[in-house]
Amino acid sequence: MVENKTHILIKKLLRESLTPTLRLPKEVDSLTDEIKEKIKSIQKNDINIIQVGDDGKNIAHLKIDVNNLPELSKLIVVDIQIINEELYQPHITLAKEIRGLGLASKIYIRIIEEFGHLYSGKGRVMNPMIHKVWDKVANEPHITCKNISTGKICLLNSNKELLTQFFD
C-alpha cells in the first residue's frame, strides 16, 4: 500500500504527540582527532550523572559530566522519562560530531549503575543505531537485559525488586 500525504502527516503527528518535548545538545562545527580519541578512550567511571531539573511532570533532565572533558557535557543531552512512576526510559541526543564514538553505551551503563535500570518501550526508538547501544549494555556482566511484552529492560543484577518482577 502506498501511503498518501495525509497518512504520512497523521503518522508524523502521532509520533510527535507520543514523543516528549526534549532538550537538544549544542552542535559544534568540528572536533579535532585528538578530542575524538579522548572521547573514545573515556571509561564508564569517568562519567558522572547529575540531575539538573525536570519538566514538572515525568521527565528528569540529566547532565552528563565527563572527567577531563568538561566541555563535552554541552554536546550530550539525556532526559529520563519516568513511566508509571517506576520505569526509566532514556532519551539521549548527542551532537553529530560525537556520535559513533562509543559514548552512548557508556552513558547508558552509568545510568543503569546509578538508577538501577533503563527501559525502552516498543515502537519508541527514533534512531535505529540505539540497538547497538542496547547490545553493548547487554554484554555487561553485572547487567541483565530482557525483552518483555512492552519493550526491553536492562537492570543491575543487584536490583532484586525489578529482577523478580520481570524475570522468573
Question: Please, are residues 106 and 39 in contact by the beta-carbon 8 Å criterion?
Answer: no
pLDDT score recorded for residue 31: 87
How sure is the predictor about 17, in pLDDT bands with cuts at 50, 70 and 90? very low
Q: Tell me whether strands 59-66 and 87-94 are parallel, antiparallel or unpaired.
A: unpaired
Question: pLDDT tens digit string along 119-167?
Answer: 988 776 677 788 899 999 999 999 999 888 888 899 999 987 777 777 6
Contacts of 12-18 with CB under 8 Å at 24 or more apart are: 18/124
On the question of pLDDT at 106 being above 90, the answer is: yes
Contact 49, 110 (CB under 8 A): yes
From CA 75, how far away is CA 103, in angstroms rounded?
11
- Using a 10 angstrom Cβ sphere, with 0-12 exposed, 13-18 middle and 19 or more buried, the burial of residue 22 is middle
- In the predicted structure, residue 8 carries a pLDDT above the cut 90: no
**Could you give the 3-state DSSP secondary structure of residue 155?**
strand
CA-CA distance, 98 to 100, in Å (whole number)? Answer: 6
Q: Answer whether residue 40 shows pLDDT above 80.
A: yes
- For each of the domains in the chain, give its residue range(s) and CATH number, in order of start: 22-166 (3.40.630)
